[in-house]
Amino acid sequence: MKKLSTILLSTVLISGLYADEFDDEFDNEFGKTSKQIQQKQNTQTDEFDDEFSEGFDEEKKPKKSYTINFDGSLKVRGYTFIEPSNYKNRNNARSQADSVLELNSKLKKGKYIFSGSIFSMVGTEHNTYAYDQVFEEFRDTNKEVPIAGIKELYAIQSNDNYDVIVGKKVFKTGISTLYSPSDVYNVTLSPDPMDPYTIGVWLADFEYYKENDTFGLVFFPVISNSKTFSPKSRWSGNENVKDENLKSFIVPTKSEVKEDNQNAIRVLLRYKGTKTLFDRGIDFILDVGYGPSLYSILEYTDEENVYLETHPTAWYVSTGFSTTYKKFEIHGELYYQNVIASKDDNFISAVGGATYTLDEWVDKIGVNKVTMTVEYVKEIVTDKYDSKKTYRSSQKQRAPKNDILIKADAEINHKWSLNYFANFRLEIDQNKDSGRYQKLGTTYTIKDGLVTELFVEMFNGDDNSYYGRWQDNDRVGLQVKYSF
């Protein structure tokens, strides 16, 4: 497997492949912008059509038969927790740092595009990163976060009314702005749960275009689990938590978890398009999928304190819309999962929200523009899992469930902005599970490609709540990102 991964990496470096998608904040969990209604895939090639041909006399010098582009980014963060860690023998420093390096390239020749991206990520937090597992692909069963890997490696054949995409690619679906319940196909690396990094998923995608409509058929041949923080990290909980599932977050304490090595293909039918209703354009999406569930569960085994982590067979449907009214952008999304044999919850996750842009009178207070997005997320369990078949369902992995999300950005000028993001988790069924996460920040562009961010993050809530277990993790930090 490592030899195959090395060959794939060599292909990236030799071919000069490029990936043009960068992560936005909170992309699999809370905040990655997931606008999916877009022009057909082969418009990606337009930016390269004239790049090398402008200014040349075609009679004297013919156009190149191919175009190639490189870029990348380096993000470095340093942060200090306000409270010291209260865990014994956890080996977590109060001040920590991490970094992510990304190298991308793209080659276009005729109707073909070859694209690739590699990454490297390291941090000071102990027991989190896998230094001996690099460029592992396909059935990667290691629980630690790899320090290097392939983010994307794919080829596109672009035609007049259809595209064929094969390889590893960041696959976007959903339409909500801050949180999309159906945008969970990719692999997420989260050594820091508040700063996830998204890498692609292996797929074969056929996209057919007809006027304003796009129809897709996607096959996912490989199941890859996301990576999270170490159980020995201060992110795993706090000493006051009574719920053992919350303390260990994903796996039970003092037990062994084996991963199911059986693999099955996911199939997804997609539609996205724009329709005119009530003299207004409305973007729609509709996805229907079948195969291994997008969430993992823990099943019982014949051995005591040994559990099997697997993805039960399920079918799932997601749909959504987005439209505009004056200065409002209004959107909604709904996701439904139905699991075979009651090994996991059947549930509906619904999102509704709007974005408002204020840019008329705010210049009087020294602000160019203010943009605010508010969303409400609600999960409804329609059928509880069978506890005799499953040790634990995917409930702890599914977030949010009864939440209000708020994001506000005030642009002072073209270089400086103030930013606010909040997630308020409301109580469910009178349980003490409410909590709050808030982030205040300011970004400043030193020059093109060099952006700094100073931020403060605050956590609070009941001890057994999602954010309450991190109430000792308030921190201040500085991030510098250089794009080249």
Q: Where are the domains of the chain?
A: 2-48+68-483
Contacts of 230 (CB under 8 A, 6+ apart): 125, 126, 127, 128, 144, 191, 236
Cβ proximity of 408 and 442 under 8 Å: no
Query: For residue 73, which of 448, 444, 414 has the smallest C-alpha distance?
Result: 448
Residue 13: per-residue pLDDT: 36
Cβ proximity of 449 and 483 under 8 Å: yes
Its pTM stands at 0.81
Torsion (CA) 8, 12, 14, 19 in degrees, nearest 10 = 160
- Dihedral (CA of 298, 185, 69, 74) sign: negative
| H or E element that contains 7 | helix 2-15
Cα–Cα dist 55/78, whole Å = 45
In tens digits, what is the pLDDT along the chain, a chain of 484 residues?
A: 444 344 333 443 333 333 333 334 344 333 333 333 344 444 444 444 444 444 444 455 556 688 999 999 999 999 999 988 765 545 578 899 999 999 999 999 999 999 999 999 999 888 888 887 777 776 566 678 889 999 999 999 999 999 999 999 999 988 999 999 988 899 999 999 999 999 999 999 999 999 889 999 999 998 888 888 887 788 876 555 444 444 444 445 567 777 777 778 999 999 999 988 877 899 999 999 999 998 989 899 888 888 888 899 999 999 999 999 989 999 999 999 999 999 999 999 999 999 999 988 888 888 999 999 999 999 999 999 999 989 989 988 888 889 999 999 999 999 999 999 999 999 876 666 789 999 999 999 999 999 999 999 999 998 778 898 899 899 999 999 999 9
| DSSP 8-state secondary structure symbol assigned to residue 427 | P
Please report, for residues 209, 250, 424, the alpha-carbon distance to residue 428 in angstroms, rounded to integers and kept in the order given. Answer: 43, 21, 12
Contacts of 372 (CB under 8 A, 6+ apart): 355, 356, 358, 406, 407, 408, 409
Cα–Cα dist 287/217, whole Å = 10
**Each residue's pLDDT tens digit, 95-125:** 999 999 999 999 999 999 999 999 999 998 8
Cα–Cα dist 45/389, whole Å = 49
Backbone angles phi, psi at 358, to 5 degrees: -115, 115
| DSSP 8-state secondary structure symbol assigned to residue 399 | -
**Each residue's pLDDT tens digit, 393-441:** 998 888 888 999 999 999 999 999 999 999 999 987 666 678 999 999 9
Backbone angles phi, psi at 229, to 5 degrees: -70, 165
| DSSP 8-state secondary structure symbol assigned to residue 396 | G
CATH homologous superfamily of domain 2-48+68-483?
Porin (2.40.160.10)
Cα–Cα dist 71/66, whole Å = 17
Torsion (CA) 185, 191, 197, 200 in degrees, nearest 10 = -40
Beta strands (DSSP E) in 326-472 are 328-339, 346-358, 369-383, 390-392, 402-411, 416-425, 435-447, 450-461
Contacts of 83 (CB under 8 A, 6+ apart): 472, 473, 474
Residue 137: per-residue pLDDT: 72
For 362, the 3-state DSSP assignment is: helix
